[in-house]
Amino acid sequence: MSKFKVAIWVLVLVGIISLNLAAALLNSLTIPSSGHISLGYTPPLHTEGKYVKDENNNTVYLRGIMKTTHIAVKGGWWHPEGSMNDYGYGMWLPEAVEYNLDQMQSLGYNVVRLHVPTVERWLPNQDGCRDEITYVIEQLNRRGMYAMIDNYAIGDPFGGQTAIPWDPYSKPTERGILPDREAFIDFWAGDADSLSAEYGHFPNVIYDLWNEPNGDSYLQQLYFEACQEIVNRLRAKGDEHLVVYQFGFSGMESNLALAQGQKLNGTNIVYSIHCYRTLSWGHTWHFFNGQYEYDDVKRILLGENVSRTYYVQNVIDNNLPLIITEMGAIREDGIVSGDTYENECTWFYNMMKCMNEWQFGYTIMEWYSSQRWFGILEDNTQYAWSPPLNARGEKLAQAILEGQTY
């Protein structure tokens, strides 16, 4: 063999060793508060008591962001790098998806909650929306991140939510899309043309069954029973992905839900609540006096000496895994009279501090600028995308940095 050929083989061998070394190093990367990640593959998750764990039995703390309106319109809404204001709306730009996911990963997020298209649009596979969701999930998987998929609208993505997602409880304009309980179950767990059939082969997918189910106790029981059947059918066909069950009454009444027996049978169930303090139309039930200091936030979450609460204590007592799938601090012009934006941001941080303490997860509203009520980035009429973190985005960064990591 000539010296030239020997040199080439040495270079190839060195290159292979270097690549293997790089892969080995990347395979042991740890993002703060997110647990172990691997190169090009996100390990499937399961639950053990209150903990979410990966296939190597590492505890994984699901902490990240919501990407809303990304697919409510044809082409989605992903701002390309360096764009301004609303550029990217309705334009399917794969490079913009990748850029935004890179930014999220750099901030330590290990899960992104994605609203899939409306049921109406998703079922007939209109305008490529299924392929777009697939692309986002694939790109998250490449980055060691999880995709929590859920739905919040049957027909009109901008027309508000429905109580429970099937007829006759849907809005009159949406009748016939999910004509009955069985149609909703098939939407998730059917053997074909369902969310699990379409995306269940991805190891990094998490199923969040519906956004903010609500209604009276009767409707909540109907919804609970439908979700139990979804779990039963998923497990019967060997699908062991995490299922997120959101407690009813818009995700805000875990105490009442558990008292009514809303504890699903089956494996790999994670429970969910939503949580806000101040809205533009006034305080929520739970922080009705505008509480924001750590001791008060913790006291209310544990249900001590308050009449209506999230009662995280009930979740703790039942040793259940919990994730706040929606929470955020509202922008300054949404603060009610007599309150301050600083108090709102302090409350937001203390909520996450409590979740870190109890080793629960959270996905925060939302990956957007201050132009939206709960955006965590500065106004992108002043900065090119992606803008710097605003005050509430910095609180999220602080909480993730302080959270547990393995």
Whole-angstrom distance, CA of residue 225 vs CA of residue 228: 5
Q: Are 155 and 173 in contact (CB under 8 A)?
A: yes
Tokens linked to 223: 């919804």
Q: In what helix (H) or strand (E) does residue 275 lie, and over which residues does it extend?
A: strand 269-275
pLDDT of residue 191: 94
pLDDT of residue 256: 75
Neighbour-count burial of 384, counting CB atoms closer than 10 A to its CB (0-12 exposed, 13-18 middle, 19+ buried): middle
Whole-angstrom distance, CA of residue 355 vs CA of residue 83: 34
List, in sequence order, every residue forming a beta bridge with 59; answer none if it has no partner: 53
Whole-angstrom distance, CA of residue 353 vs CA of residue 391: 16
Which residues, at least 6 apart from 64, have a Cβ–Cβ distance to it below 8 Å?
104, 109, 110, 111, 112, 113, 145, 146, 362, 363, 364
Q: Are 286 and 307 in contact (CB under 8 A)?
A: no
Nearest alpha carbon to residue 326 among 68, 106, 118, 117: 68
CATH class of 32-402: alpha beta
Domain boundaries, the chain: 1-30, 32-402
Whole-angstrom distance, CA of residue 353 vs CA of residue 44: 26
pLDDT of residue 251: 65
Tokens linked to 320: 């259940």
Whole-angstrom distance, CA of residue 301 vs CA of residue 41: 36
Beta strands in 193-266 (DSSP E): 205-208, 243-246
Whole-angstrom distance, CA of residue 335 vs CA of residue 343: 10
DSSP summary character for residue 79: P
Q: Max Cα separation, the chain? A: 85
- Residue with tokens 């027909």, as numbered in its chain: 155
Taking the chain, what is the end-to-end CA distance rounded to the nearest angstrom?
Answer: 49
Q: Are 88 and 79 in contact (CB under 8 A)?
A: yes
Q: Are 370 and 331 in contact (CB under 8 A)?
A: yes
Stretches in the chain below the pLDDT threshold 70: 1-40, 69-72, 249-252, 279-285, 304-310, 406
Tokens linked to 224: 């609970």
DSSP summary character for residue 277: S
Tokens linked to 246: 């959101």
